[in-house]
Amino acid sequence: MPTTFFGWVGFLLEQYGGLFLSGTGMTLLIALSGTAFGFLIGLLVAIVRTLDVPRGMGPIKRALRKAAHALIAVYIQIFRGTPMIVQAMVIYYGSMQYLGIDMDRTVAAILIISINTGAYMAEIIRGGIVSVDRGQFEAAHAIGMTHWQTMTTVVLPQAIRNILPSVGNELIVNIKDSSVLNVISVSELFFQAKSAAGTYYKYFEVFFIIACIYLALTVTVSRVLRYVEKRMDGPDNYVICGSQSDSRAEIVVNREQEEEVDRQWQSR
């Protein structure tokens, strides 16, 4: 048997490398899926929260909209105000005990992460929407756009760029916080580490390996998201067609004109 720290690290990697890899894969699956679904939940919630309740609206629609706002506020407050480990216990064991639903643990894990992330994403996206100049809302409504069209074509493309760092932070948090799901026996990285550590009682060595894996995951995700942010930055990647201050815009316009002339000749 090994007698040194790094000897044990190498031995444990050799013995349980496959176990660690499967746990890493499960952690990434839960974190990526939960963040993606949570983003969609937060997006819908944020759009609904931006809907006004004008006085001239009919009483039924007005009451429904107010009720929707109240339910959303309760949802956000509950899931931002309680720990995810408690939410996991309540949702998984509560649905089993009172609803008779025996959920698959992986499905339950993704559901828990999604609902929890959605509450945070709703506030993040709402902040991104608020950061867009109010005049753009008014201009879109002035040309006849609906609230949904204004959001999807004018506001959200700008808001998403503004909130991308916060979305990246949520993904990193979910990678780390997925470890709490071991309370419902989800076989993610932390759960697999406990199984490996209990065999030889080498907890320090095993969790040193696990810490390195978590660090590698979060650093990689940070680098990828930073690259995406740079790609979404404006002046270095986008050319405004017809711009008088960018010579490349003339190339774009002229090329489009040439293609249009070619199409006209071909049609004759």
Does residue 125 sit in the same domain as residue 217? yes
Output the CA angle 74-78-81, nearest 5 degrees: 135
Helix 189-200 and helix 203-232, axial crossing angle in degrees, nearest 10 = 160
Does residue 180 sit in the same domain as residue 242? no
| pLDDT (tens digit per residue) in 72-95 | 999 999 999 999 999 999 999 999
Does residue 18 sit in the same domain as residue 40? yes
CATH of the domain at 46: 1.10.3720.10
Residue with tokens 């580490």: 193
Residues of the domain holding 245: 238-268
Instruction: Give me the half-sphere count of Cα atoms (radius 13 Å) on the Cβ side of residue 151.
Output: 17
Q: pTM score, two decimals?
A: 0.81
Cα separation, 172 vs 216, whole angstroms: 11
Helix 5-49 and helix 156-177, axial crossing angle in degrees, nearest 10 = 140
- List, in order, residues 6 or more apart from 70 with CB less than 8 Å away: none
pLDDT at site 35: 95
Asked which of 25-39, 187-201, 243-257 is least confident by mean pLDDT, the reply is 243-257
- Euclidean distance between the first and final Cα of the chain, in Å? 84
Cα separation, 5 vs 185, whole angstroms: 29
Does residue 233 sit in the same domain as residue 256? no
| pLDDT (tens digit per residue) in 233-263 | 755 555 555 555 555 555 544 555 556 656 7
Give the number of domains in the chain: 2
